Chain A
Amino acid sequence: MSALTVTGVTKSFGDTVAVDDVTLHVPHGSLTAVLGPSGCGKTTLLRLVAGFLDPDAGTIAFDDRVVAGEGRPATPQQRRVGYVPQEGALFPHLDVAANIAFGLPRAERRSPGAGSDRVDEMLDLVELPRTFRSRQPHELSGGQQQRVALARALAPRPSVVLLDEPFSSLDASLRETTGRAVARALRAAHATGLLVTHDQAEALSLSDQVAVLRAGRLIQAGSPADVYLAPHDPELARFVGGATSLAGRCDRAGADPDRRHADSDLGRVSLTHPAPADELVLVVRPDQVRFGESGVAARVDEVSFYGHDAAVRLTLTASGTPLVARVTGPTAPAAGDDVLVSVYGPVHAYPAPDCD
């Protein structure tokens, strides 16, 4: 049984359907990322789970306890979910220890021993020094505030922890370290987490399951590898990991009975699955584009150098098709170079919208 089960949940605001018939299972002890661009309904979904909103249809259950959809919905305080909002939202009038102990039962909060132990335990868990106990929230950096917010959410041992874009206000390097620390802490606490994010890298790197939401609908749910390697459609492929779309064609009459190859501006490429149609959209990941001694002629338009790797924007000389490649930093060509490119490994193919 899943720790959290969302079944056919729908929520509208006026004429806008924010969450449309979403069904999602979050297994015990896992971290599930709800991924989507802003406005896709992911925060609404999280607020429905937290109990700040009530669904128009569908049910929400923690284990076998239905909290919404049957009878009167449970209030947020009855659901006992841990909630980590954007920017932490620590109580500004309480110090770190009082923030973390906020949700503990009164007896535990008041007694210096037990509650105190739990606070230290939580500080350890989120990898903050115990000396932070008496700090005021405004004395903490953004990342530290997020960790305290997580410790506060975890302290009462909730069945599910909800994280609402918790890292979006942090700068890039802090986002990554804080994200990893949070994921470690969740695993160490054997907590079930639901992370809402618009950042595909964050979703792929931190979670066990990625649920992709678009315009209120759940497009795909699966492991990070599934979502990256077998995206549901070209749009999702571009959204998750970035990709170049190319027109492709699988000739029925060709000597390819398995239909595992297609012709394109990049030459003949192999497919991950049998071609679903004759006219295809091929999705080429940047890391699949290789420079070499042979291949299709292209000109380098622009190089974005990131150190360990580089993004290279090219135009195929013959067809004028734009293409993005990602190569290790030192091997990157310079803008203006003429190069030969080829595709490494099989690519995903989707039916072209005009055909079939």
Chain B
Amino acid sequence: MLLAGAAVALLALVPLIFIAVYAVLVGPVEAWHLVVRPRMGQLLWNTLSLAGACMATCAALGVALAFLVERTDLPARRLWHGLLVAPLAVPAFVNGYAWVSLDRSVHGFGGALLVITLSYYPLVYLPAVAALRGLDPALEEASWSLGHSRWLSFWRVVLPQLRPALLGGVLLVGLHLLAEFGALQLLRYPTFTTAIYDQYGSTFNGQAATMMAGVLVFFCLLLLLAELRLRGRRHYARVGQGAARRAIPVRLRGLRLPMVAVPTAIAALAVGVPTYALVHWLLVGASTEFPLAELTEATASTLVLATLGAVATTLLALPVAWLAVRYRSRLTTAIERITYVPNALPGIVVGLALVIASLRLAPVTYQTALLLVIAYAILFLPRAVVSVRAGLEQAPVVLEQVAHSLGTGSLATARRVTLPLIAPSIGAGAALVFLAVATELTATLMLSPIGTRTLATQFWSASSDLRYGAAAPYALLLVLISVPATVLLMRQERLQP
């Protein structure tokens, strides 16, 4: 088990090793020259200002919406909850395509901030809802009894309690943004990731691209460290007995109906606009084609790759999470954390590292589905590890001991007790990876076997040629195959209060 975990960690380190080796090969003088040039400053400013702004808007929007839906007497709260989570099924680059194709003035910083916020706010909204739901209402009640108004209580009691969930979500927004490529490229907002892609387009594995990747990875690691620190300090709610009491909802009184406008507006912008754009381009787009055979082929390869990626990644996550939860030690914690590192890497960096590594070490695997699936596993391992880990934490070892004392052997215990208990979490982890793989673009472009076309690559090819109509069916299919996994995740959120 330890060996398996160490192997997974080593795999996760391949891209970092690649960057480190190339940075050394470039040499310190040249490396410094490439890092301090003006373009880097511009990209740095672009990337950090957008990341900061998006983190702030997502935090504000996510918490406000979570509070509105979870803690007020807003009408039809369940409906709004569903609609507010729905943007998870719309990949950011599809959202970007929708806005750009409808209105070319959506671009640059403002456009990027709008589109990214609308795509990413559920990353804050979901944990905020879960935290609000799990929060003991007695805390708030104690605050009221001490003479605080509801508003003051929210600031002084509720918000601090939400902080871990909130910060975790916000950092996730930051990490996603640093690695975002498609949407920002469509919105003509250059960041490190798009610039790396451009450099790659000109040089394949040029020194400038490697140094940019190095700088990007540095910032990602900073965010990641912050996230890990928070995760470490987070106090998990006791697995209590009986149903948790629901907090008394805030009465919106006269604002009850006007407030409906808030989730309506967000849902209209985040779900309505992409839906409208897709339907519009399907119906009236000049270049609308419906090449059924190509669509079917792309859907099939996307489904197969996403399924393979999800299965492989989840299998790799199992030993890592198992070690981290059941055999906690410095070594196993280190193994777990190492697997989080690729969370900070754009697909293109991982893709490039695997191209070089496979050509050097195992040319047989070059441009095979196997290598592509390995890339997916490296990229999305953190998502699976987090889920599986959470599941294992909810399957206390005492249950296995009880099973043993009842005469059940290790294998039977795994089959009859542990697996059924962690199956939902494994499913959730696999669903997350499935979603991520289905929308993955850059690593797929680089590593896919010759002739493989996925929905994402086809969509990209059409939309960057401004063939919006031709891109629409691919985008629609992408959204459709993302729906089941999104619903699964929503259910999961409900299961774990």
Please give the residue numbers on chain A whose beta carbons come within 8 Å of chain B beta carbons, in ascending order. Answer: 50-52, 75-77, 79-83, 85, 87, 89, 91-93, 102-103, 138, 141-142, 145, 152-153, 156, 158, 162
Residues of B within 8 A of A (CB): 241-242, 396, 398-399, 401-409, 416-417, 420-421
- Bound together, the chains give a CA A138 to CA B406 distance in angstroms of 21
* Interface SS of A by simple majority: loop
Instruction: Tell me whether A156 and B406 are in contact (CB under 8 A).
Output: yes
Contact B399 A103 (CB under 8 A): no
Whole-angstrom distance between the Cβ of A354 and the nearest chain B Cβ: 47
Q: A83-B401, A91-B417 are in contact. List 17 more A-B contacts (CB 8 A).
A: A50-B401, A51-B405, A52-B401, A75-B404, A79-B405, A83-B402, A89-B399, A89-B402, A91-B399, A93-B421, A102-B406, A103-B406, A103-B407, A103-B408, A138-B242, A141-B241, A158-B405
Residues of A within 8 Å of B408, CB to CB, are 77, 102-103
8 closest A-B pairs by beta carbon, nearest first, are A103-B406, A83-B405, A76-B404, A93-B420, A89-B398, A77-B404, A85-B398, A77-B407
The reply to whether B404 and A153 contact each other, CB–CB distance below 8 Å, is no
Instruction: Give the residues in chain A near B241, CB-CB below 8 Å.
Output: 87, 138, 141-142, 145
Q: Which residues of A contact B402 (CB under 8 A)?
A: 83, 85, 89, 91, 152
Q: Which residue of chain A lies nearest to B408 when distances are taken between CB atoms in the complex?
A: A77
- Report the minimum CB–CB distance from B454 to chain A (whole Å): 36
Chosen A-B contacts, 21 in total, with CB atoms closer than 8 Å, are A50-B405, A51-B405, A76-B401, A76-B404, A76-B405, A77-B405, A79-B405, A80-B407, A82-B405, A83-B401, A83-B405, A85-B402, A87-B241, A93-B420, A102-B406, A102-B408, A103-B406, A103-B407, A103-B408, A142-B241, A153-B406
Complex: how many Å from CA A152 to CA B408? 13
Q: Which residues of A contact B406 (CB under 8 A)?
A: 77, 82-83, 102-103, 152-153, 156
CB distance from B52 to the nearest CB of A (A): 42
User: Cβ of A77 and Cβ of B409 under 8 Å apart?
Assistant: yes
Number of residue pairs across A and B with beta carbons under 8 Å?
63
In the complex, what distance in Å separates the CA atom of A156 from the CA atom of B407?
A: 9
Measured between alpha carbons, how far is A93 from B394 in the docked complex, in Å?
A: 12
Closest to B420 in A: A93
Who on chain B is nearest to A80 by CB?
B407
A103 contact set on B, CB distance < 8 A = 406-408
Report the Cα distance A91→B403, complex, angstroms: 9
Chain B residues positioned under 8 Å from A81 (CB to CB): 405
> Please, which residues of chain B bring their CB within 8 A of the CB of A51?
404-405
In angstroms, how far is the closest chain A Cβ from the Cβ of B396?
7
Contacts of B401 in A (CB 8 A): 50, 52, 76, 83, 85
In Å, the complex CA distance between A52 and B242 comes to 30
Q: Main secondary structure on chain B at its contact with chain A?
A: helix
| Closest B residue by C-beta to A140 | B241
Cα separation A152 to B402 with both chains bound (whole Å):
10
In the bound complex, residues from chain A placing their C-beta under 8 Å from that of B404 are: 51-52, 75-77
- Are A153 and B417 neighbours in the complex by a CB distance under 8 Å? no
B73 to chain A, nearest CB (A): 27
A99 to chain B, nearest CB (A): 10
Which one of B241, B242, B402, B407 has the greatest number of beta carbons of chain A within 10 Å? B402
Q: Which residues of the other chain, A, contact B396 by a CB distance below 8 angstroms?
A: 89
Q: A87: which B residues are within 8 A, CB to CB?
A: 241
Kindly provide the distance from the CB of A201 to the nearest chain B CB, expressed in whole angstroms: 24
Give the Cβ gap from B417 to chain A, nearest Cβ, in Å: 6
The CA-CA distance from A48 to B406 in the complex, in Å, is: 16
Nearest chain A residue, comparing its CB with the CB of B412: A77
CA separation between A162 and B396, bound complex, in Å? 19
Report the nearest B residue to A78, measured CB to CB. Answer: B407
Cα distance A50–B397 in the bound complex, in angstroms: 14
Q: Which residue of B lies closest to A83 (CB)?
A: B405
A153 near B405 with CB under 8 A, answer: yes
Nearest Cβ on chain A to B440's Cβ, whole angstroms: 33
Tell me, rounded to whole Å, the shortest Cβ–Cβ distance linking A75 to chain B.
7
**Residues of chain B contacted by A153 (CB below 8 angstroms):** 405-406
How close is A306's CB to chain B, nearest CB, in angstroms?
28
Least CB distance from A110 to B in Å reads 13
CA distance A99 to B242 in the complex (A): 19
- The answer for the CA separation of A293 and B417 in the assembled complex, in Å, is 67
Q: Say yes or no: A102 contacts B416, CB within 8 Å.
A: yes
- Quote the shortest CB–CB distance from A60 to chain B (angstroms): 14
Shortest distance between the CB of B134 and any CB in chain A (Å):
15
Kindly provide the distance from the CB of A65 to the nearest chain B CB, expressed in whole angstroms.
Answer: 15
Bound: A61/B403 CA distance, A: 21
Q: Which residues of A contact B417 (CB under 8 A)?
A: 91
Contacts of A145 on B, CB cut-off 8 Å? Answer: 241
Q: How distant is B477 from chain A, measured CB to nearest CB, in Å?
A: 35
Which residue of B242, B403, B409 contacts A102 across the interface (Cβ within 8 Å)?
A: B403
CA distance A99 to B363 in the complex (A): 53
Residue of B whose beta carbon sits closest to that of A137: B241
- Please, which residue of chain B has its CB at the minimum distance from the CB of A102? B406
**A145–B404 alpha-carbon span in the complex (Å):** 19
Q: Considering only CB atoms, which chain A residue lies closest to B403 in the complex? A: A102
Q: How far is the CB of B496 from chain A (nearest CB, A)?
A: 12
Of chain B, the residue at the smallest CB distance from A89 is B398
Closest to A164 in B: B398
CB distance from A151 to the nearest CB of B (A): 12
In the complex, A75→B402 CA distance in Å? 12
- Measured between C-beta atoms, what is the minimum distance from A290 to chain B in Å? 44
Q: Write the chain B residue with the least CB distance to A104.
A: B406
Chain A residues contacting B403 (CB-CB under 8 Å) are 91, 102
Cα separation A91 to B405 with both chains bound (whole Å):
14
Contacts of B405 in A (CB 8 A): 50-51, 76-77, 79-83, 153, 158, 162
Q: Which residues of B contact A50 (CB under 8 A)?
A: 401, 405
Contacts of A76 in B (CB 8 A): 401, 404-405
Question: CA–CA, A81 to B420, complex, Å?
Answer: 24
Q: In the bound complex, what is the Cα–Cα distance between A75 and B409 (angstroms)?
A: 9
Closest A residue to B413 using CB positions:
A77
Query: A156 — which chain B residues lie within 8 A by C-beta?
Result: 406-407
Of chain B, the residue at the smallest CB distance from A103 is B406
In the complex, what distance in Å separates the CA atom of A28 from the CA atom of B433? 56
Q: Which residues of B contact A75 (CB under 8 A)?
A: 404
Complex contact A92–B409 (CB within 8 A): no
A141 to B405, CA, bound (A): 24
- Output the nearest chain B residue to A169 by Cβ-Cβ distance: B241
**Nearest CB to that of B410 among chain A residues?**
A77
Complex alpha-carbon distance, A79 and B409, angstroms: 12
Give the chain A neighbours of B398 by CB distance below 8 A.
85, 89
Residues in chain B near residue A83, CB distance under 8 A: 401-402, 405-406
Whether A92 touches B407, Cβ cut-off 8 Å, given contacts A52-B401, A142-B241, is: no
Report A194 CB to chain B, min CB distance, Å.
Answer: 13
Give A123 to B407 CA distance when docked, in angstroms.
21
- A153 CA to B402 CA in the complex, in Å? 8
A171 to B403, CA, bound (A): 27
| Alpha-carbon distance between A156 and B241 when the two chains are bound, in angstroms | 27
Residues in B with CB closer than 8 Å to A162 are 405
Residues of B within 8 A of A91 (CB): 399, 402-403, 417, 421
Residue of A nearest to B396 (CB): A89
